[in-house]
Structure 1
Amino acid sequence: MTTTAFLEKVYAGFLGMNIGIRLGAPVEPTLWTSERIERFYGDIHSYVKDFKNFAADDDVNGPVYFLRALNDGALGRSLTPSDVAQAWLNYSREEVGMFWWGGYGVSTEHTAFLNLLHGMEAPASGSIQTNGKTLSEQIGAQIFIDTWGFIFPGDPKRASEYARIAASVSHDGEGLQGAAFIAGCIAQAFICDDIQDIVGVGLSLLDGDSTYAKVVRSVRDFYAQNPDDWRTCLCYLQQEWGYDRYPGVCHIIPNAGVCIMALLYGKSFARGVEIATMAGWDTDCNAGNVGSILGVAGGLPMLPDHYRNPIGDVIVLSGISGYLNILDVPTYVKQLCKLSFQVRNLEIPQDLDIQEGVIDFDFSLPGSTHGFRLSETHGFVLRNEGDALALLYDRKVRPQLTRLFYKPFYRRFDFDDERYMPVFSPTIYAGQTVSMSLRFEKFSGESITLSPYVRNTSTQEVIMFDSFVVWDEEHRDVTFTIDKGHPKLSGAMIDEVGLLFEANSPSKNRDFGVVFLERFAVSGKPDYTIDLAQQQKEFASITPFSHNHGSWDLVKNENGTTQMEVMALDHGEACTGNYFAKDVRVEGSATVHRGSSALISVRVQGARRGYYAGFHKGQLGIFKHENGLFFPLVSKSFACELELTYSLTFEAKGTKLHVSVGGGQTLSVEDSSFTHGMVGYAVYEGGRVGFGSLSVKEMEEQT
């Protein structure tokens, strides 16, 4: 298989998974029986609900975030359950987002997380001995597993082995059978598009006497005798393999039956995810797994536009990093393919050797848009034309316009609901330089005006940079730097970056043509301030922060200055910024009202790793959090006065860490554990602290 073919199949599989999730999610609750779905939606052939943007879902959170165990140290050696367990603990905000926090002993994932948090090792954390058979055999084992199949193309045995290891953090028994089956089917789909063969290979990976193997064989046998009507098969499943026979909130076995039924009767991608949705039970999980398998098997041509286009090449997540929560699909699938080459000890092709945290879009994948969209679509069309994103403007006159833009930041008003409580930190900041390569084709008209711009998310004001008129030229490279000191931008976040298109011609000679965006890239180091007076509380967090523990709110102090206040019993954290920021200086302030912990942070990689500086338990110090242990790297006695505002500056440069308080007290130390991460504030004991606006300047790395 060529690199291009592999990349496009991963792209199709990942899109297919998310199409299935989006299709099934509106009818996921158990109150939506198959009878009710048929009554109100009939024979489904399209999405049953429109979304401004589809909010986060656990069925994509898990596959993306838990695979990061590989990024975090599991490459170059055998994967262990402990590796994946650390990803669970590190990327989840406790009881917010990621997966269903239904309670200990009720939600399998919540139970496993708390087991891990209280010191239990994986796989004991998910074992039948620990949690009982019912809890350990719920559906989560197979819904978080798709990406393990994507990285082992044509190697179902190894895909199933890794899937079992990953799933063992939270599941056991039939759950592990399901993980092996789904991942193995996905891996086999890279080299075979025959559904019977794919299911057969998946079955060969199972323990022969397992209930999962029995339901696979049972549905396959029923299909052989009744190949024409999937609803007859559904009745059979409901009678012989239904929820009444398998206890718990969402058992894996009935849903396994639905997946096999949807694969065999669906045959094509669209019909497969539609059947998985119409069947009821865990509709988004089943349609997601089926979408992965059939997406890989059929490839991009099998994904209908009416299902693919609303995805828009952007997936929203709800992990602990607001930066990672904005996922550009074409970039991510390239990263998946790179991981695949790494984990298989193969040489990485040059076009896949990309770095995380870099925005460089070339629109080379078929149909890719990298999340670009239009503010006005009447008379404007946006489509991929193979080597560029094409904006067709159809007979426009002065002053008709549209904005062509990428969204580096999302707000609550961008969504219809609050599924899984996503939070965001921008992917583009002041101080950075935006580059665009443009090409033009004119059919009629006199000229058009294009204005590079960004949008202030607080005021919704469009801020333009160096507009230019296009007459008859064919190419132009556009570059502009986002000025931190711009009076209409200072202290605010950016939620659009792109081009403002304006028609210039009169009605007798209308503008008709195409603007091609061949490349969009962002370079340079962010240099920005988060002015808390311009922020809002959304998704139970303060923009643009992600919070883990503690109660956070925006308050004004006695001087009228807006602070971000935390009240915590033992820990409260606020993270923001580029997850891959390396050398960085952050400046902020803290006013301690109660307690003795007030910290500013750099290189925070999640809930389990990072550097902190400031006050803690009578000490001024630089502290390190590593896998649940919080300890000083260097410290000295310091009596932090209550109700006094202290300025804090924390700098990380190479292995050197330096903190200063109010320009007076300073401390320095060296440590090489963490090379990158987010910035923010934290308290590591009970108390109440008001934190001030935060300035962040990333620096060129030392050589």
Structure 2
Amino acid sequence: MKFPNDYMERLYGGWLGKVIGVIHGANIEGWSYERIEQTFGEITDYPYFFKHFAADDDINGPALFMRALDDFEPARLTAQEMGHTLRNYTGEGHGFFWWGGYGVSTEHTAYMNLKNGVPAPQSGSIEQNGRTTAEQIGGQIFSDCWGLVCPGDLEKAAELAGMMSSVTHGGDGIRGGRFIAACIASAFVRERIEDIVEDGLPVIEETSDYAQMARDVIAFCKQHPDDWREAFAYVKDKYGYQHYEGVCHIIPNAAVIVLSLLYGQGDFSRTINICNMCGWDTDCNVGNVGTILGVLNGPEGIERKWTTPINDFVCCSGIVGSLNLQTIPQLVTDTARLAVKLNDEEIPGWEDILQDGSTHHLHFELPGSTHALEWKYRGNERILLANTSREAYKGRRSLQLTAPSVFTGTTFDVFFLTYGSPSDFDDSRYDPDISPTVYPGQTVEAWLKLDESVGTGLHVRLFAEDDLTGRRLYSNLFILNGEWQKVSYRIPYADDFIIGKIGMEYAVSGDSSLREKSFSLKWFLDEMKIYGPADYAIDFASQRMEKWNALHQTVSQLTYLRGIWRLEDGRLAGGHGFEPAECYTGSHRWNDYLFRVKLKPLSGDHHSVLFRVQGAMRSYAVGLAPGQTIALHKNFEGYRELESKPFPWKHGIEYEVEVRVQGSLIEVSIDGNAALRFRDEDAPYLRGSIGFGNSGGSRTAYSSYQVRSLV
């Protein structure tokens, strides 16, 4: 397979369309056509605006399920490995999905089946769960990613979508996933929306209810081409909710997707507005058609009224916290890397960007991209951020920043979020828990250039801002001019510092005669990168409980699998669960590091620290264990012991546990004394975050921890 020449741009359009569609429909999800019409009339814009949109299951699924291609060998991927992926990135009973009850929520049902030993694809099948549960909408709404990694290859896209959908669904629940993935794959190579819809049909059984519905809607649209409302009346009568059981059946919503695609006539805005006005499961339906139309038209075919409010920002709610705060260009890069791996084919002209290992890489090569940069100006004027081809340090594009009205002495910030707490969002939606994406010890660099028409100086300092206190760490001062200039800053070691923002603080200098005169300021930003190892320490007495809502309250910077985790007397206290109770922080990218933790066993026999955590199903744990031992375990769908040695630990005594991981070598000491040394030669985990855990009803208190690089 050969990637289309404009694959990256269309891929960006697809992810933009997905996120736009989900946000467009989010706050009217479940509304009827009549209620929407009475409330809004003709929808032409977002019904609601968000300062930052919180996580949604429609984005969680495609953003995280595609990681199966990273964790396993794509050519030999199985439904069982897809099931592993689902459990690996999902916290139990919270976040990611709608946890509506066994036999009610399809994903909840499949998760519990998998957990209790029912393998995929039986876990999602009609035979296991019944037709009503198996044929709800989830297989359709999570399948965008498979079309995005298979441009033009409809069969492969449908095969992957069907495999993933089979973990949670059966029957038409699987067919919907195959249909959507095939349509997205088709949109990379087709020009007419009618052809795209037709391309989705051969990958599902011709005699199925799903295929019959699609053919009926297509036929009606051909006979009545001028009025989508007439077509929706037909859909509501023949395929409405009244004909199907369950909370959100796939057939009515798939009919709305087909209808809106055909009546939208390939126009992005018209299509997503029609889809939203039909009602029912709006965020799911508009998200799917948004992906298809985004790929078909590319980013330049999407009006700025849709892209500007979201500003490339994406939030997810899996349990790997450093994957929960992203940007759409980051998702595009990750998707493209997986597409390269899947198809064993390079994307010409993008090799350097796809092979870059930086934590963040703001390259602006995607038309219109902003990488979720924001501004804070201590006056009343906006700072305008615009992707431009006028200037570039590297490649073809950069970000142009314009302050329309400034004076000598004006100061302002340009930054992006590297951590998110409740105050950054309007709601909790699917319970996001976030770990920082940048840490003390890492290096920030960027290339800046002052527009040649500007006759004044612009001073800049890079900064890292603590989310808990607002305190900033600053670089040296740089003075910009009309040439591209590199500015860089290695963030120093810091205690109790959660980096919530990375940015640039600007100050306007110049002739004092300009002080009372307003003037416009313009400059350019390109190739901003953050890279390097972490070097920091946290005392839990400095942390806070973050209240998202009455039921969702978590410790700052931590995500959790299960258990009750709280701050008590300045310590992280938690566990309580008879199954492994775990919480995590740090980056999934970390490789070789030292992890030092002070912990106190309060009750029970299992008190651990976790490292190289790659999710709920993949990690190492070492800690105080039954029989007065210290034990090292490896988790792959359940922990197994690698090594243990006697250690006479006692409840109520604080111990300092230190773990050093270099490549496959694991070294553990307690209170400065060597305890375990083990080399894992059996598919070792070479990267991953850190965490805390226990089991068997144990309770543990953790007072502090430290992370230092061994590179």
The alpha carbon displacement at 1:622 in A equals: 4.1
Alignment of 1:551-562 (within 5 A): 551-556=564-569, 561-562=570-571
1:502 aligns with 2:513: no
Alignment of 1:580-591 (within 5 A): 580-591=589-600
For residues 108 and 325 of structure 1, the distance between their equivalents in structure 2, rounded to whole angstroms, comes to: 23
Look up the match of 1:616.
625
Whether contact under 8 Å (1:555, 1:565) holds in the other structure is no
1:36 aligns with 2:35: yes
Which of these residues, 636, 645, 658, is aligned with residue 636 of structure 1? 645
Look up the match of 1:45.
44
Whether contact under 8 Å (1:390, 1:516) holds in the other structure is yes
For residues 523 and 347 of structure 1, the distance between their equivalents in structure 2, rounded to whole angstroms, comes to: 24
1:137 aligns with 2:135: yes
The alpha carbon displacement at 1:345 in A equals: 2.5
Look up the match of 2:422.
412
Look up the match of 2:562.
549
Alignment of 1:27-426 (within 5 A): 27-28=28-29, 30=30, 32-75=31-74, 77-267=75-265, 268-347=267-346, 349=348, 350-351=351-352, 353-354=354-355, 358-376=359-377, 378-386=381-389, 387-426=397-436
1:492 aligns with 2:503: no
The alpha carbon displacement at 1:72 in A equals: 0.7
Whether contact under 8 Å (1:619, 1:635) holds in the other structure is no
For residues 201 and 379 of structure 1, the distance between their equivalents in structure 2, rounded to whole angstroms, comes to: 46
Listed one character per residue, the Cα deviations across residues 285-335 of structure 1 (whole Å, up to 9, x for unaligned) are 000010011111111121111111222212100001110111222132122
The alpha carbon displacement at 1:473 in A equals: 4.1
For residues 504 and 479 of structure 1, the distance between their equivalents in structure 2, rounded to whole angstroms, comes to: 21
Whether contact under 8 Å (2:383, 2:404) holds in the other structure is yes
Whether contact under 8 Å (1:337, 1:352) holds in the other structure is no
* Secondary structure in structure 1 of the residue aligned to 2:321: coil
Look up the match of 1:695.
706
Whether contact under 8 Å (1:451, 1:468) holds in the other structure is yes
Structure 1: state its 5+ residue gaps. Answer: none
Look up the match of 2:489.
480
The alpha carbon displacement at 1:509 in A equals: 4.5
Structure 2: state its 5+ residue gaps. Answer: 390-396
The alpha carbon displacement at 1:629 in A equals: 2.5
The alpha carbon displacement at 1:665 in A equals: 5.2
* Secondary structure in structure 2 of the residue aligned to 1:443: coil
Report the more deviating stretch, 102-111 or 402-411: 402-411
For residues 664 and 351 of structure 1, the distance between their equivalents in structure 2, rounded to whole angstroms, comes to: 45
Whether contact under 8 Å (2:406, 2:521) holds in the other structure is no
Q: Residue type matched to 1:314 in 2?
A: F
Number of paired residues?
A: 688
Whether contact under 8 Å (1:532, 1:564) holds in the other structure is no
For residues 85 and 249 of structure 1, the distance between their equivalents in structure 2, rounded to whole angstroms, comes to: 23
CA pair 231-168 structure 1, distance change in 2 beyond 3 A: same
Listed one character per residue, the Cα deviations across residues 604-658 of structure 1 (whole Å, up to 9, x for unaligned) are 1111111111112234334233333312211123332111111111111111111
For residues 410 and 255 of structure 2, the distance between their equivalents in structure 1, rounded to whole angstroms, comes to: 54
Listed one character per residue, the Cα deviations across residues 330-373 of structure 1 (whole Å, up to 9, x for unaligned) are 13212212222221232464235425663222111111111111
For residues 709 and 91 of structure 2, the distance between their equivalents in structure 1, rounded to whole angstroms, comes to: 26
Cα RMSD between the aligned structures?
1.7
CA pair 189-240 structure 1, distance change in 2 beyond 3 A: same
Listed one character per residue, the Cα deviations across residues 241-263 of structure 1 (whole Å, up to 9, x for unaligned) are 11010111000000010000110
Whether contact under 8 Å (1:454, 1:497) holds in the other structure is yes
The alpha carbon displacement at 1:66 in A equals: 1.2
* Secondary structure in structure 1 of the residue aligned to 2:576: strand
Listed one character per residue, the Cα deviations across residues 48-84 of structure 1 (whole Å, up to 9, x for unaligned) are 1111100000001111111111111132x23211111
Which of these residues, 586, 605, 621, is aligned with residue 596 of structure 1? 605
TM-score (norm 1): 0.95
For residues 5 and 493 of structure 2, the distance between their equivalents in structure 1, rounded to whole angstroms, comes to: 40
Q: Residue type matched to 1:25 in 2?
A: A
Q: Residue type matched to 1:34 in 2?
A: Y
TM-score (norm 2): 0.94
The alpha carbon displacement at 1:418 in A equals: 0.5
Whether contact under 8 Å (1:616, 1:684) holds in the other structure is no
CA pair 668-444 structure 1, distance change in 2 beyond 3 A: closer
Percent of pairs identical after alignment?
36
